[in-house]
Amino acid sequence: MKVTGESIVPGDKSITHRALLLAGLIPSTSRLHRPLTSLDAAASARLVRAVGGRVSPLRRGAVVSVSGAARWRSPGATIRCGNSGTTARLGLGLLAGHPVTATLTGDRSLRRRPMQRVIAPLAAMGARFHPADTDRLPVTIEGGPLRSIRWELPVSSAQLKSAVLLAGLVGGVPVAVREPHGLSRDHTERFLRLLGQRVTAEEGWITFEPGAPLSAFELTIPGDPSSAAFLVGAALLAESGELVIRDVGLNPTRTAFLSVVERMGGSLRGELRSEGPGEPIGDLVVRPSTLRGTVVGGSEIPGLIDEVPLLAVLAARSEGETRFDQVGELRVKESDRLALIAENLRVLGYRAETGENQLFVAGSDQPPVGRVRTAGDHRLAMAFGVLGTVPGARVEIDDRASRRRELSRLLRDPGADRQNDPAPW
């Protein structure tokens, strides 16, 4: 397959969530350009509406207006977070500092994801939870006055870190959190600084101190690097050509996968064009490449945890073996991603094994043939859709919402997708 042309990917999911939720704290109107219009983003908009804010419909091509509530109210019904762990965890942090009672739940996948790791620090700050010892949704939170906290997180996680920082914001108290295994994505810290708050990072500790009152903002959301990663992968595995992906967020805490791809021999160039409103933005230029195995692990894992499925399928088409260390957190994502990555690679004819915290993949040039099981996890569907673009591939994906055919169409005519609904990404 030849790859050519230019593409623009949907708005960054992480930044869209934070923009919606933080705008929900501000009574005047904020405006969001190019936000992601996915079901996950809709869950955060739903939370803002449930506590008294107003959010215009999330439609492709539309500027979204958000007018927050001066005082958050207790929702009249359970807040349904769908499959969005970001909505649930950041939402708990924001609710903790308001005198409200709210119950949060999610779909089957979200209800199996651990919540005690975010409940524990918020409870230590003064929020109350029912049941207090639960590790799963649904959970009811009673918010109110909060106290300062200094908390060491059990894992490096932007969601956990952000929940504590946002609780400090709404509670008007200083907080500090420490990440044990490297810095996770820092969109919340950047956004808080943009809104006039004081956030510092030193020796693994992220410290927040309340600053100026929040003011409404206008923001253009950069393209999501995690979405761009799938196009990068397909372009690397193509037979010829060049792909340019425009207006991508190049935040260093989100682009560790680019460094791994370069280490594997990938022809990839990032061209920074502007810092934007607190976030670096630029273009990615990708060419087909012969890849080689590598070792992925340590402090780079928090910055590429969502891209491990894509890197694993690239490893399957590389020379030699690739080892992923410290990736046990993938077992508690939308699915047990670690087990499913290895299982699906074996089904397609590759050698792959897992340990409790590791993944091993042996590369091969044989065409992948078989049926992939995704358990409804879109990142697995997309990653194996990339593998399905190589010559001779016959990859069937059980998730009908997957984008294998759409991905192939994009690579034939990338510019045509600029007005497409980004929700499936």
Active site residues: 306
Residue 75: cis peptide before it, omega within 30 degrees of 0: no
Q: Helices (DSSP H) in 97-178: which residue ranges?
A: 116-125, 158-171
Q: Helices (DSSP H) in 151-303: which residue ranges?
A: 158-171, 187-194, 225-237, 256-263
Instruction: Return the closest-CA partner of residue 96 out of 148, 132, 141, 137.
Output: 141
Residue 131: cis peptide before it, omega within 30 degrees of 0: yes
Q: Are 194 and 217 in contact (CB under 8 A)?
A: yes
The helix (run of H) or strand (run of E) holding residue 88 is helix 85-96
Q: Are 208 and 198 in contact (CB under 8 A)?
A: yes
Sign of CA pseudo-dihedral 411, 413, 417, 423: negative
DSSP reduced 3-state for 290? coil
> Six-digit token pair at 169?
């914001």
Q: Are 82 and 110 in contact (CB under 8 A)?
A: yes
> 64-67 and 101-105 as β-strands: parallel, antiparallel, unpaired?
unpaired
Number of other CB atoms surrounding residue 285 within 10 Å: 16
